[in-house]
Amino acid sequence: MCLLFLQRFKLSYILPLALILFTPFLAFADTQTGYASITGLDTLWVLVAAFLVFFMQAGFGMVEAGFIRAKNTCNILTKNFLDFCMASLGFFIFGYAIMFGTGNSLLGLKGWFMAGAENPSGVPLHAFWLFQAAFCGAAATIVAGGMAERMKFSGYLIYSFLISAFVYPIVGHWIWGGGWLSELNFADFAGSTVVHSVGGFAALIGTIILRPRIGKYSPDGSTNAIAGHNIPLASLGVFILWFGWFGFNPGSTLAVGDGSLIARVAINTNLAAAAGGISAMFVVWKMFGKPDLSMAMNGALAGLVAITAPCAFVEPYSAIIIGAIGGVLVVLGVVLLDKLKVDDPVGAVPVHGFNGLWGTISIGIFGRKALGLAYEGLMYGGGFRQLGIQLLGALSVIFFVLIAMGFVFKLIEKTIGLRVTREEELKGLDIGEHGMESYSGFQIFTTE
């Protein structure tokens, strides 16, 4: 009888009792596994996005090579290649600490060489660093196009390290590292100001100091078009950049979540690029009588730059408007620079500088509080509060970049020199700077 009772007791009570006792431990284990899975998925997403942004270096290289003359192709590609090398080292040694380290409202002061570095993200530090380093490289390489075909390679290497190690990270700290602009609720989701305005306005002050290419402007003030040598190559570069932007903007979520934010950012990115390309094509068609492919491609890039800051804070229809205005701005910007005799061979200043500014301001017009913005944009009854913050931040960054990079370029000019000799410029920087040709066996006229 006792044995039968024990058997029934075991069957009736031991299993439920065991479940009651061990369920908390099972739940804890499941929670830990789930947390690790979510972190792993977010890490994978951030790394894939970083790889896409890194691939944009190839896009920049192809665009810039296609839009300049054949005799300078090797030089511009070397600059693009070394940009990421210099940016990686500069950002590792100094840049990350300045951008994300504990410090004050102007710059970080802790984490040199990544020792004891802060990690404000939800992914491992090294994954976050790689993503941010890819952004840093993108900012640096923008300047190569604006100063193409006449800048000394040695001077460019110094510039590339300094902007990556100090100038870009200071701006990044103001906005993404807990600095004074972030305290004011300045918004820049993926870098219209942090990346593109920094690179674009650095290119502007650099090309002003460097002066125009030989033959670009006639003594009577007229402008001479200097055609790029390979439009198919430039087209490939634009497609690569467009593709890479799906890592640039959606990757800035830094987490997968339920996927809704990534999806909204991705569709806004695509729509703005499409609208920018179309609007630029129609504007240049109306102004000059032909639907210029190079301007349409720059229009798409302008739309991408413009939507980079507001991509998470606006609705898709607003993204179309922002991109379309960006396409118009890039055409008008090119015309304006030619009137001012500022020689920008690839349109880096209108694409990245002017549209970085426009994209940042557009948040204050079209941004929605329901989508994560601190205040409603002007179009939704928020008045000028967010718009004023955006204007203050954008103009402050532009002023800082013009002063800082103007100092850097003048220092280079007074020491090792900023511009190649007239003979090297006419012969081509491939031969003069690197002793090699991009198209061996083809005659490249030295008088062009």
Does 223 score more than 80 pLDDT? yes
Q: What is the pLDDT of residues 182-203, one digit of tens each?
A: 999 999 999 999 999 999 999 9
In tens, the pLDDT along 286-302 reads: 999 999 999 999 999 99
Say whether pLDDT at 304 is over 70: yes
3-state secondary structure 293-341: HHHHHHHHHHHHHHHHCCCCCCCHHHHHHHHHHHHHHHHHHHHHHHHCC
In one-letter notation, the amino acid at residue 403 is I
Whether this prediction's pTM lies above 0.85 is answered by: yes
**Three-state DSSP class for 275?**
helix
- Whether residue 358 contacts residue 325, with contact meaning beta carbons closer than 8 Å, is answered with yes
The C-alpha atoms of residue 282 and residue 303 are separated, in whole angstroms, by 14
| Average pLDDT taken over every residue of the chain | 92
Instruction: Classify residue 219 by burial, with Cβ atoms within 10 Å: 0-12, 13-18, 19+.
Output: exposed
Least Cα distance to 97 among 116, 112, 107, 115 occurs for: 112
In degrees rounded to 5, what are phi and psi of residue 151? -95, 140
Using alpha carbons, select from 275, 368, 256, 258 the residue that is nearest to residue 315. Answer: 368
Q: Whole-angstrom Cα distance, residue 333 to residue 330?
A: 5
Burial string for 285-304 (b: 16+ CB within 10 Å, else e) reads eeeeeeebbbbbbbbbbbbb
Chain segment 126-168, per-residue pLDDT in tens: 999 999 999 999 999 999 999 999 999 999 999 999 999 999 9
